[in-house]
Structure 1
């Protein structure tokens, strides 16, 4: 039977070609993929492995793209220009509508959330968003819904890059077939290429590292697309094997077992676990390939049983559902609507309604008759869409100033941004000074020396840099926006190589992501402390970021390591600032002018008191 949707302008991640036989069950697989991704985005702490649905999308895209390309090539109808035009028509109408409509809506509802959106939107449209996010240290699993309305579109970056490269890969396939005379040999070449890229992730993984590069990298994720492509190039019509036959029954049982395994992985395979990158994601991707192979076997008819109306409806609209997720979820978090009862259900309803609206607009734009919505209503919807979208486009051109991202991964307001930039420039000059000063103005403590104190921190410290230099004139401050604990070790090694790393170290990290709760984070902290050694006095400023899930985990872990190491003292910023929210700027994390003074004073007083107490202890021990 012919695909009943083939005469319509379909939007979505690679659909079945109109020229090809409809494969029952593929919409069910798309549904399975989008359900996992959606549940992960809405319930990240419950459906921990739902992100694996993205790998299934990759496999399906690779399969259908290769399948249709092969069929067109065999009939002499494959054309490079037509190929790119088809890809553009399938991807960009929906993508552009969602992106610019989102920017327009945010202009009215949350303008402060799109202050720094221009470079990100350009990376989405031009197809390199995954690499852009890598440069931003945009950890997908620590940021979840706090980063941007477009955080999830790293996926489109890999898709678009693959679309661009596919003609070259397909050319190699066709040349191989012509030389060898066998279609299977070309498919095997693609499969081998997939295997080679599949081992990159396990090989590149190192305990304690930031997994952003591995998760977002085109080179470490393209294997799923190549595996799907190899299957599409090798695909044949299924043989007449009945379900009751031994081979068919085995396939059915394998299908059921793999489906159970993948569902379990959706719930259990945490994206922050080492196993995910040491082979777990690869195993699940292979499972997806086997599920696809069994469904594509027409003789088994499993796809026919799965080809029910709800699955077809969701599967056909999986791309739209995917595109609308983060814009909705991020807005709910930004406006704190997620404090309302049943907000998850409201989010899901909004995503579905926006997807239906997108479907209607696309159908109307493509001038096809709508059978389920009156034309007058669609005209009104399109008029509203035009107003919002034009607003979004205009904002992209004129209204979106480039502002750096804050330590909490929220957008920094203009005043704070200016201060951070000013402090960054000032530190470059002041850190070249080597003045040393005896510091103490705390009553009832002996005179102590804070000569050469090294301060390593993120934007919270950077915002207070001027006040810290006043409180600790002899200090050297190295602070930057969005720094994670993993970046502190490189700073310490560099300063040590320059002969600057003294005996007093101040660390203010832990706001931008977890430093505990997962082995890779704790390994970063242990490695840093091991490098600094037990002879140096370490002062670690704990964190205040109440909207982020790692605040309490990080502070508890810091208290724990301080109890285990005599040379570590906790500077309790959390206890002080939690009583004085008026000392914070709008984001609720960075200190304002009064807050920076108090931050520096707390740091100074905590250091002096701790060092004075140790001086007294040493004096008594000598006596």
Structure 2
């Protein structure tokens, strides 16, 4: 018995091409299930799957594999029509895409209106499969996008799939016509894989971010081309094995592979009734490597753009190849009923999971979700995906689906009812006579609509209208979003005066108040003789913070209970969060120097300190309220900042922001402060815990209540009140 290393049994070697492609690969369904689970877990917050985005690479490989099998089948059977192939992709993708838009927009308006502006800006580009290029033009990085997310962010993947279908279908047709042999065809595909991988590496290393490298069709094509090359290789191998069998029966000689390669590929064992061959072992190793990557890889790892994504695609292709053997270990493991069920709903789950996760897990949540909360959310996601699958994705006609496997679906799922030619002819016969052009335009539309369920028809039309309205109507979407958000959360409404301002005590202390004025009424130091050691001055205040740094001039500062002001004079270097709290901070710490700016990075702190030191406004202590806009590489970054501050006591603030670097940054700050006496910690993360009213819907910036709480926290860190 020959090995099934190419994905086909010898018993199938003499079957026709139509028969070879007809089975549905249950193992690929299971692989699709694992990929969508990784993606959903990656988008959960917090997520243990830092590399869950590798599931997208697996989907790309499956897409390229099944798309190429479909094109090859049409080409070899003489039924290849470019327009027909593209129409089948549209039939599969567009109704689901438009339905998701139709359902997402009202959901966002009703429950998460702060996401509406980005929803509005992305709806039309998503509907026309162009949102990935829109993100590239806007320079919106996937792994470090600023502000609130767009519920349509995952639709970039659908756009790339459709763009690849348009280009690759034509390109493969052209390669068939110009390549002298199959070897030339394989060489051309490998050349394109290498070229796309180089384009990704170049794009990632020659830009400010990885936006183009991650979203571009040119840079992600390598992963789909790996799947395409696998389909071509398996097709050639099956034909070659058929020729071997035919020549053996006829007694003639045939070209054989090298002996060493034949031995490796033909090795197999068995576990009961399950066959295990070399490809099974390679597939299981590949699966374990990808699983480890889901826990350890990060999207900002430079090596991922220098061959990492292509390597993940090759590993995925190895698993897909093993799944094409019906009785292999890989197919038995991945083809179990639970995984197959999840895999068949993968497209629906991909479309519904991200908007629902954003609604169910708002950025303002400041407490961890209990385990049962995650279970409830998982059940909601599964229920929503099941409804979308049954009432939108599944077609009315299943005959064609039972006969042929997927035609380049984004998740490798079958093309439901795309070739229902009989229903098309029956429909056109009953139509009144039209001219030839009208008939050619209307017939595909009628065929498409007739294959959809009523819910799919309604939602598709509704989604298209919604996308056009959002993209064309010049409404003030920011104002609409804000008004709806205030209805849901009245605490975010702006107010003209901070509650820290006390009208009974007049204006707060002037920023020009002298240090001597702040200590009026304090007891003078006792007289001492020259022979005795002077006692330590009694501090005027007792700071309250997670860790108070040594060296603060506590005898020079005082708290004025009548005005609620603290006379401390720190230099506060911050980003947009500190900038938002500048007004109440200046009210209760009038001598503080507040230097805050939107999108400021942590590494800029020494430069701004130097400017203030030269101007004589560096204060007696420094507060570094940065870290929201990027990850801290290691403690050496903080060491360099502290060394630039001339030995002054330094406070670092922990951060509260719904990004992947929140917890690592806080851990780095605490670890560094623990080993440096003159470094303290002000815990904004802890202060805001359980107080969603402190934060706007982005989970980072401060509401009026949050600004006051932030200012009081800062005052306590210096004056204890």
TM-score in terms of structure 1 length = 0.68
Matched, 1:191 2:209: no
Alignment match, 2:640: 530
Contact 1:202 1:278 in 2 (8 A): yes
Alignment match, 2:344: 316
Contact 1:104 1:389 in 2 (8 A): no
Q: In the superposition, relative to structure 1, how do residues 103 and 196 fare at CA in structure 2: closer, same or farther (>3 Å)?
A: same
Contact 1:508 1:541 in 2 (8 A): yes
Deviation of the 1:389 alpha carbon:
6.3
Contact 2:572 2:595 in 1 (8 A): yes
Q: Give, in whole Å, the separation in 1 of the partners of 2:393 and 2:19.
A: 17
Question: C-alpha deviations, 1:361-404, integer Å up to 9, x for none?
Answer: 336875779x9xxxxxx999779969996996698468882489
Alignment match, 2:227: 228
Deviation of the 1:331 alpha carbon:
2.7
Q: Give, in whole Å, the separation in 1 of the partners of 2:230 and 2:669.
A: 50
Q: In the superposition, relative to structure 1, how do residues 479 and 110 fare at CA in structure 2: closer, same or farther (>3 Å)?
A: same
2:581 to 460, 464, 477: 464
Alignment match, 1:479: 597
Question: C-alpha deviations, 1:200-220, integer Å up to 9, x for none?
Answer: 6567778xx976665555554
Within-5 A mapping of 1:34-433? 34-41=36-43, 45-74=47-76, 77-114=79-116, 116-130=118-132, 135=138, 140=143, 147-167=149-169, 169-170=171-172, 173-174=175-176, 178=178, 180-199=179-198, 215-216=214-215, 218-234=217-233, 235-238=235-238, 239=241, 247-249=265-267, 252-263=277-288, 265-267=290-292, 269-272=295-298, 274=301, 276=304, 280-296=308-324, 312-334=340-362, 339=369, 342-362=372-392, 396=470, 401-402=477-478
Q: Give, in whole Å, the separation in 1 of the partners of 2:376 and 2:481.
A: 29
Deviation of the 1:70 alpha carbon:
3.8
Larger radius of gyration: 2
Deviation of the 1:125 alpha carbon:
2.5
Q: Give, in whole Å, the separation in 2 of the partners of 1:363 and 1:596.
A: 47
Q: In the superposition, relative to structure 1, how do residues 288 and 538 fare at CA in structure 2: closer, same or farther (>3 Å)?
A: farther
Alignment match, 1:428: none
Matched, 1:554 2:650: no
Q: Give, in whole Å, the separation in 1 of the partners of 2:111 and 2:461.
A: 15
Deviation of the 1:114 alpha carbon:
3.3
Partner SS for 2:296: coil
Deviation of the 1:539 alpha carbon:
5.2
Which structure dedicates a bigger proportion of its chain to helix? 1
Q: In the superposition, relative to structure 1, how do residues 317 and 200 fare at CA in structure 2: closer, same or farther (>3 Å)?
A: same
TM-score in terms of structure 2 length = 0.60
Q: Which runs of 5+ in 1 are unaligned?
A: 1-15, 372-377, 407-411, 421-435, 516-520, 610-623
Deviation of the 1:101 alpha carbon:
0.7
- Paired positions, count: 549
Deviation of the 1:328 alpha carbon:
2.9
Q: Give, in whole Å, the separation in 1 of the partners of 2:479 and 2:629.
A: 17
Contact 2:199 2:219 in 1 (8 A): yes
Contact 1:237 1:297 in 2 (8 A): no
Q: In the superposition, relative to structure 1, how do residues 526 and 158 fare at CA in structure 2: closer, same or farther (>3 Å)?
A: farther
Q: Which runs of 5+ in 2 are unaligned?
A: 1-16, 246-261, 269-275, 402-451, 483-487, 497-510, 520-539, 541-554, 558-566
Contact 1:116 1:403 in 2 (8 A): no
Query: Which stretch of the first structure deviates more once superposed, 574-583 or 155-164?
Result: 574-583
Q: Give, in whole Å, the separation in 1 of the partners of 2:88 and 2:710.
A: 57
Contact 2:396 2:453 in 1 (8 A): no
Q: Give, in whole Å, the separation in 1 of the partners of 2:61 and 2:627.
A: 36
Q: In the superposition, relative to structure 1, how do residues 446 and 49 fare at CA in structure 2: closer, same or farther (>3 Å)?
A: closer
Partner SS for 1:522: coil
Deviation of the 1:550 alpha carbon:
5.7
Question: C-alpha deviations, 1:442-500, integer Å up to 9, x for none?
Answer: 5455499979x683413x123234556776799574522xx4x7x44479779989999
Q: Give, in whole Å, the separation in 1 of the partners of 2:335 and 2:113.
A: 43
Q: In the superposition, relative to structure 1, how do residues 168 and 77 fare at CA in structure 2: closer, same or farther (>3 Å)?
A: same
Contact 2:654 2:681 in 1 (8 A): no
Partner SS for 2:186: helix
Q: Give, in whole Å, the separation in 1 of the partners of 2:42 and 2:691.
A: 35
Deviation of the 1:90 alpha carbon:
1.5
Contact 1:403 1:414 in 2 (8 A): no
Question: C-alpha deviations, 1:146-191, integer Å up to 9, x for none?
Answer: 84543433422432343344356436634xx52x411331332221
1:508 to 608, 615, 625: 625
Q: In the superposition, relative to structure 1, how do residues 540 and 81 fare at CA in structure 2: closer, same or farther (>3 Å)?
A: farther
Alignment match, 1:455: 573
Contact 1:141 1:272 in 2 (8 A): no
Q: Give, in whole Å, the separation in 1 of the partners of 2:195 and 2:612.
A: 41
Q: Give, in whole Å, the separation in 1 of the partners of 2:692 and 2:141.
A: 27
